[in-house]
Amino acid sequence: MVDTVFLVRHGNKIAHDDPHWLKTAKNPEDISLSEKGIQQAEETAQLLSNEKIDVIFSSPFYRTLQTANIIAKKLHKKVNIEWGFSEWLNPNWFGTFPSLMSTEEASEVFPMINKEYISFTKPKYPELYDSVHVYDRVKRTLMKILEDYSGSILIVGHGASVYQSARVLMDPPIGVRIEMCAVNKFVHRNGAWTLEYASIEHLSSPDIELNL
């Protein structure tokens, strides 16, 4: 059984620093990291290099894969693309189910991706309520992973999927941080999950942003 879960939100998005990016982007639904976001991911990788992590899972969105790939390189681990931890498919954000890279396409960009992994879950569009729809698919995914894997896992997701993953482990998830590249470490002891730490102290330029 899994005994340790790290939850990490992706780094800062390029659209935050360059509002003109969306006007020229080929796929504005699939935003990449900004230079600041890359730095945040590298600093997160440095922090996690001091931890024991056996398996890495990531949302299929570009910004999460980019964050996970930076961390995976530092840890010498592969990244499993898991749709169960994807962005909230809010119809106010996405007009249809988002068009993302396939695993094969993503592996050409991000060399640490495990092309053999098959996602446990595929979200259904639209997801009207994150506390219901995102929670349900995150719970299905995370419970399956906790059952099938052992040791320590890292999940790289989004504000909504990180928060709802935390709810699966400990509800209410008091103390959890969901800023960009915040790191939350959960440990299973005496039959229950506890939050060992939640931190942005490793970031030289954190985003003080608590909204999803």
Q: Taking 50 as the threshold, does the pLDDT of residue 9 lie above it?
A: yes
How much is the pLDDT for 207?
81
Q: Taking 50 as the threshold, does the pLDDT of residue 95 lie above it?
A: yes
E strand or H helix that includes residue 152: strand 151-157
How much is the pLDDT for 179?
96
Write b or e for each residue in 73-100: b if 16 or more Cβ atoms lie within 10 A of its Cβ, otherwise e.
ebbebbbbbbbbbbbbbbeeebeeebeb
- What secondary structure letter does DSSP report for 189? E
User: pLDDT band for position 209 (50/70/90)?
Assistant: low
pTM, 2 dp: 0.95
Q: What is the pLDDT of residues 28-71, one digit of tens each?
A: 778 999 999 999 999 999 999 999 999 999 999 999 999 999 99
How many percent of the chain have pLDDT more than 90?
88
Judge contact between 76 and 113, C-beta under 8 A. Answer: no
Longest dimension (CA), the chain: 52
How much is the pLDDT for 211?
41
Helical packing angle, 135-148 and 159-169, nearest 10°: 60
Q: Taking 90 as the threshold, does the pLDDT of residue 198 lie above it?
A: yes
Mean pLDDT of the region 166-182: 97
Judge contact between 88 and 161, C-beta under 8 A. Answer: yes
Q: Taking 50 as the threshold, does the pLDDT of residue 212 lie above it?
A: no
User: pLDDT band for position 18 (50/70/90)?
Assistant: low
Q: What are phi and psi of 9, to 5 degrees?
A: -85, 150
Mean pLDDT of the chain: 93
Mean pLDDT of the region 12-21: 74
Mean pLDDT of the region 100-109: 95
Mean pLDDT of the region 192-209: 91
Task: Please list, in sequence order, all residues whose beta carbon lies within 8 angstroms of the beta carbon of residue 201, skipping any fewer than 6 positions away.
Answer: none
Q: What is the pLDDT of residues 146-163, one digit of tens each?
A: 999 999 999 999 999 999
**3-state percent breakdown (helix, strand, coil) of the chain, nearest 5:** 35, 20, 45
Q: Which domains does the chain have, with CATH numbers?
A: 2-199 (3.40.50.1240)
CA distance 76 to 205: 25
Residue 8: half-sphere exposure toward Cβ, Cα within 13 Å? 36
CA distance 190 to 133: 30
Q: What are phi and psi of 65, to 5 degrees?
A: -65, -40
Q: Taking 60 as the threshold, does the pLDDT of residue 12 lie above it?
A: yes
E strand or H helix that includes residue 55: strand 55-58
The larger pLDDT score, comparing residue 177 to residue 30, is at 177
